[in-house]
Amino acid sequence: MDLKLKDRIAIVGGASMGIGYGIARLLAGEGVKVAMSARREPALQEAAERVRTETGADVLAVQADCRRAEDCKRLVETTANAFGGIDILVNNDGAPPLGDILSFDDSAWQKAIEQNFMYVVRMARDAVPHMKRRAGGSILNISALSALQPYAGFALSVASWNGVIGYAKTLSIELAPSGINVNTICPGYIETTRLEKVFDAGGDDPDKMRAELTSQIPMQRIGSVEDVASLVALLVSPRGNYITGATIQVDGGLLRHVR
């Protein structure tokens, strides 16, 4: 199926590794002009060069700290100036630290809000005018399954990402008349460095933890970055434009409740 993504212009956050890198690579392979962003410059430049070499796409590496308002604005403007506009915004970053909910001070909570929630708010605010000038677009937020099914130790992520889900739903209503769809994806257990941190924090044998987690998943496997990226590609494409305001888990059936 042709997703009709060729020559679209995208910003992908957290793109030096993991889910962000997988999304940037898949979109580039579909002919999208991609601005890849991350905090760490050397890793970002290396990742961007790999995507360029493997896909032949126009790829721009823009170092930015998503927790800083000025960096969000610079990322949007740099992309628009380089490529001539913005069609797709994928808000993705790492996640706040794990720990007991009562152990976090105000500073930890504020950092989580800046990283997860205000990042999404600022990027949308800066990117939407460019999308409106191109008569439409797509905003996709990467959250986590813990936002729908909270786990002990994930308080900073659960609270801040629930704010993102509420914000995205409201934004989808307001932007629908402009042809801009807004959705949120909540990945389950995905093969990333974040999952390795969960294993390390568990205080148990990592192989045993992996086996236990896998046994909980109806599909009996840990998800791949490609599992997430494939859904992203559909949702940000013209083929997926009628899907908006949705919060979708990518978890192999792990989430049990009926909504």
| Average pLDDT of every residue of the chain | 95
Shared domain check, 49 and 153: yes
Asked whether residue 257 is domain-assigned, the answer is: no
Q: For residues 158 and 99, give the distance between their C-alpha atoms in angstroms, rounded to a whole number.
A: 12
* Nearest CA-CA partner of 103 in 162, 156, 157: 156
Shared domain check, 59 and 99: yes
**Containing structural domain, residue 217:** 191-222
Note the pLDDT tens digit of each residue in 118-142: 999 999 999 999 999 999 999 999 9
Shared domain check, 19 and 40: yes
Shared domain check, 201 and 100: no
Shared domain check, 126 and 217: no
Asked whether residue 2 is domain-assigned, the answer is: no
Shared domain check, 197 and 139: no
Shared domain check, 213 and 85: no
Shared domain check, 115 and 34: yes
- How many distinct structural domains can be found in the chain? 2
Q: What is the pLDDT of residue 192?
A: 86
Q: For residues 164 and 150, give the distance between their C-alpha atoms in angstroms, rounded to a whole number.
A: 15
- The answer to whether the pTM exceeds 0.75 is yes
Mean pLDDT value of segment 158-167: 97
**pLDDT over 90 (residue 89):** yes
Asked whether residue 52 is domain-assigned, the answer is: yes
Asked whether residue 56 is domain-assigned, the answer is: yes
